[in-house]
Amino acid sequence: MDDDFDAVLIGAGHNALACAVHLAAKGWRVGVFESASEPGGAIRSGDYTVPGFRHDWAAMNLSLFAGSGFFKAHGPALIARGLEFAPSAHPFASVFPDGRWMGVSTDATLTLARIRALSDADAATWQALMADFPGQAAHILALLGSPMKKRALASFAWRLWRDRGVGGALDLGRFLLQSPREWLEATFESPHLRATLGAWGMHLDYAPDIAGGALFPYLEGMAGQAFGMVLGKGGADGVIRAMVAEIEAHGGTVKCNMPVARILHTGGVATGIELADGRQITAKRAVIAGVAPGALARLTGATGDQGFDTAMVRFNHAPGTMMIHLALDGLPDWAAGPDLQQFAYVHVAPSLDQMAATYAQAKAGLLPDAPVIVVGQPTVVDPSRAPAGKHVLWVQVRMVPGTILGDAGGVITARDWETAAEPMADRALDILERYAPGLRGKILGQRIVTPAELEAENPNLVGGDQICGSHHLSQHFLFRPVRGHADGSTPVRNLHLTGAAVWPGAGTGAGAGFLLARKLAGD
């Protein structure tokens, strides 16, 4: 194996791989070293229940990847390497205890009819939001795709002022500070519609009353209506296989089962890495760590900047997630109606109040008594993932504590995930049975993945935190992961941090990796 590269990357998550793809295409010799047995980080797929039933380990939704600046630049090459998408025109829905449901589809007439059945006023509001979405999205996506640097922010602010005026700029600023509940209750009158959109905040550590979270229910609602949802044909890991192939086609290397013991740096300059087996790998131009901030602190030791080192150790993680993978003899028979079988996601998150309670319980270390459940039905979109007539179900239980201190339901006595996994999964499946009677009778195979196992398989998912760090305002935008380093820079020259812990944060959009690669390549 060659021990001399222009850039050495630690970890083969999708951000690190995206960074490596771009640098390799620019002529850099890149080497990627991953401790796990396969690349991809949270984007993995496999037969985790029964042979022939293909499940996504953690991430399933690839809409952000398909719409990313990285894919715009490298999509044709990745498609040539075998990447295929499976689009859904029915991205998400929610079910409610009163037997009703609400879903967003790309057919605007269909979505509006569902909203109108809940509220005529909300249907009119939805139409107005959709009409305004292209203009709003241009500014919001420009912000989310910009480096968190003074010049970039000044340019963004000037364009916003030019297009929207002072009032419009202030309105957007206020919106970016609002909690999901503040925006949803000010905008819609139907509690069902509020809950349908508010469930998206729970994907990104934004419970209903957390400031700064209004953006995500808005974006997911509008983008779901405008573009639907995108899955990976055959599994989400198709993007990983294609990126690895593209790196290798440019002479790069991706090595698994290669844990890194430390980052080598001397005189304030990073020079390479040392593997767990003692071998040293030289990096002529950059060492790029696709790791959680706490891991960066361990790998580097002291950087010479005590404030930075302390911030890395104290980086705040979100609550955990438990996954339940099911191989099914048939789709769930949703009590609210068979139309729900066509949706990629079905949320069981009945109200903003319940979501707030679930989040508070998980943050307090308690197993929630009524967790939010995200039911992914990928075989509706991509039948290739299971034998003919069979299905897989991708179930996220959000939120749960990484460290269990008690049970909000007062029933589960276990205080470790090894023994709490079965009763907590039963609690989630009991909830699903209320909305889809007979579900358990369809199960051909089951695999529970606890927060502890998620972290064991991928140390970046601390406590089962699938977004690698809270996105609350004190740790987002200019402050992700810490003020002055939102571009992934560190106090050690030539050492860079990438991944979901770096601006623009979590999701499958590869934003952190692509922004860093462009900076290093001088784009």
Q: What is the pLDDT of residues 77-120, one digit of tens each?
A: 999 999 999 999 999 999 999 999 999 999 999 999 999 999 99
**pLDDT at residue 147 greater than cutoff 90:** no
The pLDDT confidence band at residue 458, using thresholds 50, 70 and 90, is: very high
Structure tokens at 174: 């206020």
Summarised one tens digit per residue, pLDDT across range 167-186 is 877 888 888 999 999 999 99
Mean pLDDT of the chain: 95
pLDDT confidence tier of residue 138, bands split at 50, 70 and 90: confident
57-61-63-66 Cα dihedral, nearest 10 degrees = 20
Q: Which two tokens stand for residue 42?
A: 């949270």
| Percent of the chain surpassing pLDDT 90 | 90
Higher pLDDT, 138 or 417: 417
Question: How is residue 230 written in tokens?
Answer: 């995108």
| 93 and 101 Cβ atoms separated by less than 8 Å | yes
Kindly indicate the confidence band of residue 487, based on its pLDDT and cuts at 50, 70 and 90.
very high
- Residue 162's pLDDT is 80
Q: What number is the average pLDDT over the span 383-390?
A: 98
Q: Where are the domains of the chain?
A: 4-44+237-315+469-521, 45-56+85-91+228-232+319-466, 109-213
Residue 73 has pLDDT above 80, yes or no: yes
- Residue 237 clears pLDDT 60, i.e. is over it: yes
Q: How far apart are CA 502 and CA 512, in angstroms?
A: 6
Amino acid 167: pLDDT: 80
CB 481 within 8 Å of CB 272: no
User: pLDDT grade, residue 2 (50/70/90)?
Assistant: low
Place of tokens 């889809």: 436
Instruction: Check pLDDT > 90 for residue 36.
Output: yes
Output phi, psi for 110, to 5 deg: -65, -45
4-44+237-315+469-521 sits in which CATH class? alpha beta
Residue 1 predicted with pLDDT over 60:
no
H/E segment holding residue 111: helix 108-118
Predicted confidence at residue 146, as pLDDT, reads: 82
Contacts of 298 (CB under 8 A, 6+ apart): none
8-state DSSP, 178:
-
pLDDT of residue 142: 80
Read off the pTM.
0.96
pLDDT, position 171 = 80
Residues 6+ apart with CB under 8 A from 490: 296, 300, 303, 308, 496, 497
pLDDT tens track for 278-312: 999 999 999 999 999 999 999 999 899 999 999 99
CA dist list (Å): 104 to 55, 94, 117: 24, 9, 13
Burial class (CB in 10 A: 0-12, 13-18, 19+), 436: buried
DSSP state of 364: T
What pLDDT score was predicted for residue 235? 98
